[in-house]
Amino acid sequence: MKKYICLIGILLFTSTFIVNSQTLADAYRLSAQKINGTARAAAMGNAFGALGGDFTSLSINPAGIAIYRSNEFVITPTARFNNSEISLSGGTFSDDKYAHSINNVGYVGSIKTGLSSESGVVSFNLAIGMNTILDLNQNSFGMFNGSPISFLDGIVNWSNSERLSNSYLNRDIGDIEYRDWPAKLAWETYLMDPVDNSDGEYVNILYENELVDQQINYSYKGGIKEYVFAGGLNFAHKFYIGATVGVQDVDITKYKEYSETLEDNNSFTYYEDNFIKGTGYNLKLGAIFKPVNFIRLGLAFHTPTFFNVNDDMRLTMESQLQESYDHDGLNLYDYGLNSPYKFILSGAVVIKKLAVISIDGELVDYSTMKYDVNNLNFDIKNSFGSAFNLRMGGELKLTQSFSARAGFEYYPSPFNADFDLDETFVSDDNSIYSLGLGYLANGFFADLAYRNSTDTYSLYNPQPNFEDLTLKNSNKQILLTIGFKF
């Protein structure tokens, strides 16, 4: 059977036109956080749950703050290079994006109690700062000429199945249900007409069997920063406990532009501008135990992050027919979301002062994500399951001052095997590889890390006899940490 290709699958994958799927995608996007702090931690796969002594550990296992034996100031500027590829049987389309930011900044204060190191509380430490929790940096572009299916087909099918009346579509857009906005926009831009003056049955302006040329551009930027306030206690250099209060700042911008050119050179363009801002609060508790000097064991628990989110979405459609038309609408809504809880079990081996090997296992139950809208929570429970994330890393002392590092992170897909809610996106597993170098002398340290992450999405196309699409998103980071111990 012949398989067609088109860009409608990508539009559906990234669009609010399929309302429930996008809502699930947003819940997962805010919850599937991958820590991004200092260069040392990044180079070692962020496997710092048992090691501690690095500012990144405050967002993993807060007992890591108790490992510090001196004050510290640290800052990490980061450069990011993103490449996105959309693969069709007709070719591969690639787009690049560069961005830079401050990944991490923090201060740790260590206060000695003056007690014997044999027993009791040797020191208590306090810290304040910021780690990056979610980093979005992506541009994508694709085009396909001669597609037998149009975005307008989906709008017309929806309008007919819902029996949207002419009088309903003539209302002000503020009086139209949000899910019907694409129909309203197509109606106002003369891309959809009633059948023989009927009320509730429509056709689009395309001729029968007309082929269209399609093009899509979309981008993500922003992410989530976590501001941390932490404290920890060191018991005889054997047992460490800590707690972190995390305040997460959500700032995400999504932009989409989809256009079609018809055979008579008429055209239309559909735009989405989405601004997501919010704040989340969580508590992290952790402990680290050294049964012997060269072994460290860590255990941490993260409460859900309780988000309050403001989501502004502007949809615009423009048509270039015999005349030009445009229409838009702005949808503002607030919602609450609870991310999943986390359990982190860690282990590390410290071989004198020559080498370190560390591993973290993180259990996250994504089915416990919860909106303050109950009907969506049923879909979450049916669509998501648990994931066991793995992080591991090592460090080798090259000289008295220089160290080499490497790491690996693995994040399996949390989607249930029978996930089929419109099947507009299926996320594959994600692997991250990292390398780095470090320098430490006279209370000054500088760390450099390279991090390579690739996400692959199989984009299911809901139209019969149409080829599935593949989106590959490669994200390369260069992190430089500068710090002082005093």
pLDDT, tens digit, 9 for 90 and up, residues 277-304: 999 999 999 999 999 999 999 999 999 9
Reply yes or no on whether the pLDDT at 220 is more than 90.
no
186 found inside a domain: no
Q: What is the mean pLDDT of residues 119-128?
A: 94
* Rg from Cα positions in the chain: 26
- Structural domain boundaries, residue 67: 8-150+206-485
Residue 397's alpha-carbon distances to 13, 347, 352, 435, 437, in angstroms, are 46, 20, 10, 14, 10
Of the ranges 74-88, 130-144, 379-393, the best mean pLDDT one: 379-393
CATH code, domain with 344: 2.40.160.60
Q: Which of 15, 69, 59 is nearest to 37 (CA)?
A: 59
Q: What is the pLDDT of residues 2-17, one digit of tens each?
A: 344 455 555 554 554 4
Q: What is the pLDDT of residues 164-213, one digit of tens each?
A: 999 999 999 889 988 888 899 999 999 998 988 778 899 999 988 898 88
Q: What percent of the chain clears pLDDT 70, i.e. is strictly above it?
A: 88
Q: Where are the alpha helices (DSSP H) in 330-455?
A: 374-383
86 found inside a domain: yes
pLDDT at residue 281, rounded to an integer: 98
Average pLDDT of every residue of the chain: 87
CA 168 centroid distance within chain: 37
Q: How confident is the model at residue 419 (pLDDT cuts 50, 70, 90)?
A: low
166 found inside a domain: no
- Candidate from 47-56, 87-96, 172-181, 287-296 with smallest mean pLDDT: 87-96
Contact (Cβ atoms closer than 8 angstroms) between residue 402 and residue 438: yes
DSSP string over 322-347: SSEEEEEEEEEEEEEEEPPPEEEEEE
Give the β-pairing of 295-302 and 342-351. Answer: antiparallel
398 found inside a domain: yes
- Residue 196 CA to residue 163 CA, distance in Å, equals 15
Q: Which of 152, 254, 259 is nearest to 215 (CA)?
A: 259
What residues contact 68, with CB distance under 8 A and at least 6 apart? 52, 53, 108, 110, 125
- Residue 50 CA to residue 54 CA, distance in Å, equals 11
Reply yes or no on whether the pLDDT at 274 is more than 50.
yes
The amino acid at residue 93 is F
Q: What is the pLDDT of residues 221-258, one digit of tens each?
A: 899 999 999 999 999 999 999 999 999 999 999 898 98
- Provide the number of structural domains found in the chain: 1
82 found inside a domain: yes
155 found inside a domain: no
Token pair 């012949």 is found at 2
382 found inside a domain: yes
End-to-end CA distance of the chain: 70
- pTM (predicted TM-score): 0.89
- Residue 467 CA to residue 10 CA, distance in Å, equals 12
453: its two tokens: 């992450």
427 found inside a domain: yes
Burial category of 95 from C-beta neighbours within 10 Å (exposed 0-12, middle 13-18, buried 19 and up): middle
pLDDT at residue 41, rounded to an integer: 98
Q: How confident is the model at residue 129 (pLDDT cuts 50, 70, 90)?
A: very high
